[in-house]
């Protein structure tokens, strides 16, 4: 904090926040933040440096990064909100600021079907998980609200016989629900709209329920001022 939260440092009001310092006199003088806000901003700067260091390794087979999904309309108008793989709502202005520092991936959908995934940096493993973060947002079992970062990739159909990993046959399932799909247990299949249907085993009181909509309603979250 003595470094990253010092007056003039890590100030989101600056076009190019000073992060490696020391801040020049101009930056110090235009810094009107409270000490609490400076500590908040300094902590974010430190965490951003950690994220950018690429020393966090991988999580679920992907380089540790923030996965955000939104619509082209919201991106173009720079308004509205996007949703992270953890279910947090992010104002579009924050998404655009984050993107300045990010490796870029772009997934394109048509009515729930994934058409393509583009990425600026070669992935260490297939990019299907990125597409699933945007497509399923979280566990596809009806009634389950586990978010994408905490889910496994489930092969809905055909994989055992074809070994084909078309992303449109994949779905997210949480660690509790994924094992329910087994011989004699739940089965899953894809509907035409790309959602995943969970069918309970015969004679089971459990209900598959209605399919989960393609976009989980994100959890409400506070949006502290950041950059
Ligand atoms: Zn689940």
Q: Are residues 70 and 23 both part of a single domain? A: no
User: Which residue range is the domain that position 165 belongs to?
Assistant: 111-199
Starting at the edge strand that comes first in sequence, how are the strands of the sheet with 68-69 ordered?
68-69, 81-84, 89-91
What is the 51 CA–ligand 1 centroid distance (Å)?
28
What is the 59 CA–ligand 1 centroid distance (Å)?
18
Percent of all residues in the chain with a pLDDT value above 70, rounded to a whole number: 74
Q: What does the pLDDT look like over 5-52, one tens digit per residue?
A: 999 999 988 888 898 878 999 999 999 999 999 999 999 999 988 988
Q: Are residues 32 and 93 both part of a single domain? A: no
What is the 100 CA–ligand 1 centroid distance (Å)?
33
Q: Are residues 46 and 66 both part of a single domain? A: no
pLDDT bin (cut points 50, 70, 90) of residue 196 is: very high
Q: Out of 30-34, 154-158, 211-215, pick the least confident.
A: 211-215
Q: Indicate the average pLDDT of the chain.
A: 79
Q: Out of 79-83, 89-93, 105-109, 130-134, pick the least confident.
A: 105-109
What is the 168 CA–ligand 1 centroid distance (Å)?
19
| Three-class DSSP category at 169 | helix
- At 206 the pLDDT is 59
What is the 198 CA–ligand 1 centroid distance (Å)?
11
What is the 179 CA–ligand 1 centroid distance (Å)?
10
128 falls within a domain: yes
Q: Are residues 65 and 141 both part of a single domain? A: no
pLDDT bin (cut points 50, 70, 90) of residue 227 is: very low
Q: Are residues 154 and 175 both part of a single domain? A: yes
What is the 140 CA–ligand 1 centroid distance (Å)?
7
pLDDT bin (cut points 50, 70, 90) of residue 65 is: confident
What is the 24 CA–ligand 1 centroid distance (Å)?
51
What is the 45 CA–ligand 1 centroid distance (Å)?
34
Q: Are residues 149 and 87 both part of a single domain? A: no
What is the 166 CA–ligand 1 centroid distance (Å)?
22
What is the 30 CA–ligand 1 centroid distance (Å)?
49
Total domains, the chain: 3
Confirm whether pTM is higher than 0.75.
no
- Asked if 154 and 141 count as a contact pair (C-beta separation under 8 A), the reply is no
Strand partners, 225: none
Q: Are residues 92 and 42 both part of a single domain? A: no
């Amino acid at each position: 904090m003595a470094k990253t939260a010092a007056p003039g440092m890590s100030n989101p009001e600056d076009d190019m926040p000073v992060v490696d310092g020391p801040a020049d006199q101009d930056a110090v003088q235009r810094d009107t933040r409270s000490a609490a806000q400076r500590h908040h901003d300094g902590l974010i700067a430190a965490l951003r440096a950690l994220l950018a260091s690429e020393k966090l390794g991988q999580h679920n087979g992907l380089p540790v990064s923030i996965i955000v999904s939104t619509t082209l309309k919201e991106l173009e108008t720079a308004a509205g909100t996007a949703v992270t793989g953890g279910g947090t709502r992010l104002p579009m202005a924050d998404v655009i600021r984050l993107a300045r520092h990010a490796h870029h991936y772009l997934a394109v959908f048509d009515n729930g079907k994934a058409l393509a995934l583009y990425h600026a940096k070669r992935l260490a493993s297939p990019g299907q998980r990125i597409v699933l973060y945007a497509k399923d947002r979280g566990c596809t079992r009806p009634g389950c609200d586990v978010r994408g970062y905490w889910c496994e990739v489930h092969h809905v159909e055909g994989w055992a016989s074809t070994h084909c990993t078309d992303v449109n046959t994949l779905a997210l399932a949480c660690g509790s629900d994924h094992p329910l799909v087994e011989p004699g247990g739940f089965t899953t299949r894809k509907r035409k709209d790309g959602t995943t249907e969970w069918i309970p085993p015969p004679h089971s009181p459990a209900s598959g329920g209605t399919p989960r909509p393609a976009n989980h309603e994100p959890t409400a979250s506070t949006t502290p001022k950041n950059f």
